[in-house]
Amino acid sequence: MKIRSVSYIAVLLALLFFAGVSSAAESIRIGALFSVTGPPSFLGEPERNTAQMVVDEINKAGGIKGRPLELVVYDTSGDPTKAVQLATKLIKDDKVVAIIGPSTTGETMAVKPVTEKEQIPLISCAAGSKITDPVNPWTFKTAQNDTLAVARIFEYLQKRKLDKVAILSVSDGFGASGREQLKGQASKYGITLVVDDTFGPKDTDMTAQLTKIRGSEAQAIICWGTNPGPAVVAKNVRQLGIKLPLFMSHGVSSKKFIELAGEAAEGIILPSGRVIVADLLPASDAQKKSLMAYVQNYKHHYNVEGDHFGGHAWDAVMLLKKALEQGADTPASIRDQLEKISGFAGIGGVFGFSPTDHAGLTKDAFVLVEIKNRDWVLVD
């Protein structure tokens, strides 16, 4: 038994050794870091699937200028340390020309110094606005800034003269970043935050926080988080008989949320990328073509509907493709070409980068949707 395990290790060692040696001749290598496992796997899994799907498609269609793409994906399991190590691996061992991902803001912030030092373009799939603010020459992102999502909700509230708001955010990177934006932008819209509370990502009962909110003079509740916390919040709101309008973030704009919250999801309003309402959009919408293609293709490959998390990876690969089609094939030229892209209608929105804007989206990237009869409806 023991001897056998030794031989297993030997085989593994050999595998690792040869994995580093083999390589295709003409292909363009791009790296990807996604947290396919770990707590953010709900982001990383669709992102990996999508990236792989898009790359396969591009290659089936003959590659880019005759050269196939080669995608090297590593799983960071949501750990910034691993993300840094793997970014180094992609750059030094796999010699990629650009990296897409990582999935979360924390990992991206950890990887950013590495890609900057090695001068490799990084197209992050995470939402935190501090990734591209201030602008870092080598870092781009495809996920919509939470700044824009917050603006969408606040505009809506302002229009309806609801100016006393309670916020309830999850205490992880996504929630913390959203909370920062909510607090920062409120005064601009004449909104006061009467309650500012948080809950843990694994918390199972939020009635205490909501009771506090019920006792306050809030006119609306904004909950910022990703599954499953917000579903518990929705259920608790219903349990406590709170009649205030409930807003959620784009972090729950997937069918999974409706499934988890059930009846309690009815009437919730949230900002979302257009992907979940692709079929409701008018044909004139700039993104309609990309959206329908992505949604149908994803369903065809993976039997579930494509969500907007996967969309971030779709956008990242397609933006890279655009840059490569312009003849760029070194990290520096890819970076320069990326910065010149404008009017590209992807999944997350219509991208337009510039030397001062590496996020590339406006608040039109979001639409407000309401949950009605277990489905999405466009608001206004």
CA-CA-CA-CA torsion sign (291, 60, 28, 20): positive
What does the alpha-carbon distance between residue 147 and residue 270 come to, in Å, rounded to a whole number?
14
What does the alpha-carbon distance between residue 129 and residue 146 come to, in Å, rounded to a whole number?
7
As measured in angstroms, the least distance from the Cβ of 246 to another protein is 16
Taking CB under 8 A as the criterion, the residue among 78, 121, 251, 273 binding another protein is: 78
Tell me the Cα Rg of the chain.
22
Task: Name the residue among 114, 48, 51 with its Cα closest to residue 80.
Answer: 114
Helix pair 207-214, 229-239: axis angle to 10 deg: 50
Residue 36 tokens read as 């396919």
Q: In the range 99-158, which residues lie near another protein by CB under 8 A? A: 105-106, 109-110, 112-113, 117, 128, 130
As measured in angstroms, the least distance from the Cβ of 32 to another protein is 13
Counting contacts by CB under 8 A, is residue 16 touching another protein?
Answer: yes
Taking CB under 8 A as the criterion, the residue among 263, 282, 284, 303 binding another protein is: 263
Q: In the range 317-336, which residues lie near another protein by CB under 8 A? A: none
Residues 233 and 265: beta-carbon distance below 8 Å: no
As measured in angstroms, the least distance from the Cβ of 255 to another protein is 11
Counting contacts by CB under 8 A, is residue 76 touching another protein?
Answer: no
What does the alpha-carbon distance between residue 160 and residue 1 come to, in Å, rounded to a whole number?
71
Instruction: Classify 141 as helix, strand or coil.
Output: strand
Output 46 or 346, the one with its CB closest to another protein: 46
As measured in angstroms, the least distance from the Cβ of 266 to another protein is 11
Output 207 or 362, the one with its CB closest to another protein: 207
Output 192 or 216, the one with its CB closest to another protein: 216
How many residues contact another protein, by CB under 8 A? 70
As measured in angstroms, the least distance from the Cβ of 226 to another protein is 10
Instruction: Classify 270 as helix, strand or coil.
Output: strand
Residues 173 and 104: beta-carbon distance below 8 Å: yes
Q: Which stretch binds another protein (CB under 8 A): 74-82, 154-162, 315-323, 331-339?
A: 74-82
DSSP string covering 301-322: HHSS---HHHHHHHHHHHHHHH
CA-CA-CA-CA torsion sign (137, 85, 126, 342): positive
Residues 301 and 53: beta-carbon distance below 8 Å: yes
Residues 78 and 107: beta-carbon distance below 8 Å: yes
Counting contacts by CB under 8 A, is residue 72 touching another protein?
Answer: no
Counting contacts by CB under 8 A, is residue 358 touching another protein?
Answer: no
Counting contacts by CB under 8 A, is residue 74 touching another protein?
Answer: yes
Output 184 or 327, the one with its CB closest to another protein: 184
Contacting positions for another protein (CB under 8 A):
2-3, 12-13, 15-16, 36-37, 39, 41-42, 45, 74-75, 78-82, 84-85, 88-89, 92-93, 105-106, 109-110, 112-113, 117, 128, 130, 171-173, 175-177, 197-200, 202, 204-205, 207-209, 211-212, 214-215, 227-228, 231-232, 235, 238-241, 256, 259-264
